[in-house]
Amino acid sequence: MSSWGTSSSCFGQETKSPSSPPSAEGSAPEPAEKDMNDAEEKPRDTVKFTTEKLSVDEASQLVASPCCGAISLFVGTTRNNFEGRKVISLEYEAYIPMAENEVRRICRDLRQRWPVRHVAVLHRLGLVPVSEASVVIAVSSAHRAASLEAVSYAINALKARVPIWKKEMYEESSSSWKRNKECFWAATE
């Protein structure tokens, strides 16, 4: 007869586990305290606007959790062309207090729609050369469907709602501020 106890999981669901771990002769049982601390890990949202180069590894580490089997990432990079013109870099500006508040609202929206654990939204400001990341969004969840859907929603909501402006710098020494067609206030002008 085996003895089974109950313990809580990362998402508040109850799971069954042995009440005492099996031990080999001559070895002491491992303490379960670390596992319990992992199970009690609080959901976390990280919002960062920076002029520094973005790290996909950092974003992934910010959302990693022993409770999660999925981390989904979106990485938006500067491409080298737009409408037949050669782009050499992008320049981003944002009204940071408003942008941070809106990104936090998006994080709350994600939590209301999907059972996600941690969310990280990193956005670069200033000049972003070709092939470098301008935005990295990472979401962790127990299963892939929630994190994949949430990360897709997050980038679409960011483009539609967050006050960030983008200027394309072209090879022929010209530039153009780009209107975000997805932004909610663009339709009213």
Residue 159 labeled ligand binder: yes
Q: Quick one: pLDDT at residue 172?
A: 79
> pTM for this structure?
0.75
Measured in degrees and rounded to the nearest 5, phi and psi for residue 26 equal: 85, 0
More confident call, 174 vs 141: 141
Lookup: tokens for 65: 């959790």
Q: What stretch(es) of the chain map to CATH 3.90.1170.40? A: 44-188
CATH code, 44-188: 3.90.1170.40
Nearest residue to 47 via CA among 123, 109, 98, 125 = 123
What is the average pLDDT across 13-18?
A: 39
3-state secondary structure of 31: coil
- Mean pLDDT for the chain overall: 83
pLDDT at res. 41: 87
Known binding residue 167? Answer is yes
